[in-house]
Amino acid sequence: DERIIKGQRMLEFMAKSTFHWCPTMYPLVSFLLVRTSLKHGINASSCDAFGSYGILLVGPLGDPQRGREMAKAVDMILEKPGMKRMESRSSAQNQGFIIPWTSPIQGTLAPLLEGCQVGLKSGDTDSASINLNCRTAILFYAGRPLDSVEHELQAQCDLMVLLNQLPQKNFTLPYLLVVKILRGVDISDEKDFESLEEFFLETRMDFHRAVALIIQLESLVFLSDWDAANKRLGTEDLRQIVAGTVGSVRFTFLEALILLKQAQGEATYLNRRKWKKRAFKPIKILRGWAKKGNVNIVHYVHLVEAELAVLDGKGEKAEESYKSAISVATRNGFIQDRALSHELASEYFSVVKGDDYWKEYHLDKAIKSYMDWGASAKVEQLQRKVEMGKHESS
């Protein structure tokens, strides 16, 4: 029935737009697509139906294993004749949103690039750009060297201008900005985070605004500006806007760290308790995701547990958790989080334990790890800290 097919195509376009511009409508559109596929039979639009449902399962519905099953169903549908036009879009859904909840995110980089190439060959430039957007986020979170990440993101922005995919280019800009900040590149001619946020507010691009806020938190945490990070965090739950994405997971991790740091800095028991209570929500969410098989956040949980133990005065637990966070981050290739874990461990041994040996050991390891990542601005910050320490001791 041509009317049903046209209706499903309309729902496809609605799913694309509501995901970014009206997230609360996205589940409704997705469920309508699933219902029409189950009622009237499988066609190309069914890839979008089950892919969208898979995104909802891994994110808001909290069932990543069933989400993975939806991704497998999409792959089976794509093997049927007449499904060529959905290959690129399905690649973005599966590799960019669903697979990272149960498999190492580094393994999605090559398939996302292939999905982009398929989209460019077929003329589906929109889906090609979405593949690149997913790859943008994963490149950064996977701990790839920042110089190569900057080079690729700049090339992506140039390509999206040529393809007239300006909304997708705007998604990349916050990532490019934070990479330049961490590398110590001059950004005086660039839009800062406040300008990007203002632009996204004016254009009602809530998804892009949430991404920019999360990336700004990333910058503040790595540069150890915990007070500014807490102010920037506010009380808005960005998980609701970027649900189902790797950004939602990273936000939860950053939120937990920032709140715990705020609690540690409070002088009174009541204030510490207030911030600790707020931190329990993201900590509980992270623990739940890890139990459900998200292999990419095991070191997140260890590092958050370490900071919680510091707050509670449990030194032995804190040291064990720092060690586990460093070990897992190293083994899984997350250079930036290995560096952050060493840095926070150094602070613990300095402030809480007064142990100069382990403080300097972890600080040295942090500097080397940030060097490996290519975060020159952070390396300079820590080296200044070392020099100040030597000056004070002399």
pLDDT score, position 273: 94
How many angstroms separate the Cα of 201 from the Cα of each of 196, 207, 208, 213, 243? Answer: 9, 10, 9, 12, 19
Q: pLDDT tens digit string along 96-147?
A: 999 999 999 999 999 999 999 999 999 999 999 999 999 999 999 999 999 9
Q: Which long-range contacts (CB under 8 A, 24 or more apart) does 130-133 make?
A: 130/89, 130/92, 130/96, 130/168, 131/88, 131/91, 131/92, 131/95, 131/96, 132/156, 132/159, 132/160, 132/168, 132/172, 133/92, 133/96, 133/168, 133/171, 133/172
pLDDT score, position 131: 95
Q: pLDDT tens digit string along 22-63?
A: 778 889 999 999 998 888 888 888 999 999 999 999 988 999
Q: What distance in Å separates the CA atoms of residue 210 and residue 240, rounded to the nearest whole number?
A: 10
pLDDT score, position 393: 63
Name the percent of the chain lying above pLDDT 90: 74
Task: List CB contacts of 317: < 8 A, sequence separation 6 or more.
Answer: 305, 306, 309
pLDDT score, position 388: 79
The residue ranges of DSSP E strands in the chain, in sequence order, are: none
Is the pLDDT assigned to residue 341 strictly greater than 90? Answer: yes
* Contact in structure between 143 and 333 (CB atoms under 8 Å): yes
Q: pLDDT tens digit string along 264-323?
A: 999 999 999 999 999 999 999 999 999 999 999 999 999 999 999 999 999 999 999 999
Q: pLDDT tens digit string along 58-88?
A: 988 999 999 999 999 999 999 998 888 899 9
Q: What is the mean pLDDT of residues 151-172?
A: 92
pLDDT category of residue 229 using cuts at 50, 70 and 90: very high
Q: What distance in Å separates the CA atoms of residue 307 and residue 221, rounded to the nearest whole number?
A: 14
pLDDT score, position 380: 94
pLDDT score, position 13: 85
Residues recorded for the chain:
394
Residue 342 or 18, more confident: 342
The tokens describing 96, both together, are 């960019």
Q: Is 119 exposed, middle or buried (0-12, 13-18, 19+ CB in 10 A)?
A: buried
Q: What distance in Å separates the CA atoms of residue 283 and residue 40, rounded to the nearest whole number?
A: 43
Q: What is the mean pLDDT of residues 248-253?
A: 96
pLDDT category of residue 148 using cuts at 50, 70 and 90: very high
Q: What distance in Å separates the CA atoms of residue 222 and residue 318, rounded to the nearest whole number?
A: 20
DSSP, res 105: G
Q: pLDDT tens digit string along 171-223?
A: 999 999 999 999 999 888 888 888 999 999 888 888 899 999 999 999 999 99
Angle between helices 26-40 and 2-21 (to 10 degrees): 160
pLDDT score, position 173: 93
Q: What distance in Å separates the CA atoms of residue 72 and residue 393, rounded to the nearest whole number?
A: 60
How many angstroms separate the Cα of 228 from the Cα of each of 99, 232, 234, 235, 261? Answer: 33, 6, 10, 14, 12
pTM, 2 dp? 0.93
pLDDT score, position 53: 95
Q: pLDDT tens digit string along 347-394?
A: 999 999 988 899 999 999 999 999 999 999 999 999 998 887 776 665
pLDDT score, position 167: 85
pLDDT score, position 230: 95
Compute the mean pLDDT over every residue in the chain, rounded to the nearest whole number. Answer: 92
The tokens describing 57, both together, are 């399962």
Chain centroid offset of residue 167 CA = 19
pLDDT score, position 369: 97
pLDDT score, position 186: 87
pLDDT score, position 316: 94
At residue 42, what is the residue type? I
Q: What distance in Å separates the CA atoms of residue 179 and residue 5, rounded to the nearest whole number?
A: 44
Residue whose C-alpha is closest to residue 165's, from 114, 104, 226, 120: 120
| SS3 at position 189 | coil
